[in-house]
Amino acid sequence: MAEVIVRSEGNLRQRIEGNGQVFLADEPRAAGGDDAGPDPYTLLLGALGACTAMTLQLYARRQAWPLQGVEVRLTHERTYAEDCGRPDDADCRLTRITRRLSLLGPLDGAQRARLIEIAARCPVHKTLTGEIEIVDEVLSPES
């Protein structure tokens, strides 16, 4: 089980610790933050993009395919009722992540097609598209 600890550092800045690494998250100045790090949605997209690229590189390496690099471009948007299949529900929102893959190297068509299939198998993709349960527990100040 992985553990990440997030601590407030003033205003909206957050210190994220995990796996022996430390980095910051924040909101842009326009949203009231100090712009000291990526915002939460940028981190989420970064996690998906990094996992996708790593998964493709590991798969291609095992197959001895000439994948020389991967670029993953991601966007996040929330679309409205007409896009979620319930046009009468004004509160209906659909979250859409668009992932654009650039597969670098002299791959043939079959290899490229297989790598696109493999992209959907990265662990973060599976987590985001699967059922997620978030359990909240309130700790005492001494914890």
Contact by Cβ (8 Å): 70, 105: no
Q: 61 and 122: one domain?
A: yes
Question: What is 30-66 written as a DSSP string?
Answer: GGTS---S--HHHHHHHHHHHHHHHHHHHHHHHHT--
Q: 6 and 27: one domain?
A: yes
Domain enclosing residue 112, as ranges: 39-129
Q: 81 and 53: one domain?
A: yes
- Tokens coding 99: 């992932």
How crowded is residue 27: how many other Cβ atoms within 10 Å of its Cβ? Answer: 19
Q: What phi and psi values does residue 40 have, to the nearest 5 degrees? A: -55, -40
Q: 54 and 18: one domain?
A: no
Q: What is the pLDDT along the chain (143 residues), one digit of tens a residue?
A: 789 999 999 999 999 999 999 999 999 999 999 999 999 999 999 999 999 999 999 999 999 999 999 999 999 998 765 555 656 666 667 889 999 999 999 999 999 999 999 999 999 999 999 999 999 999 988 75
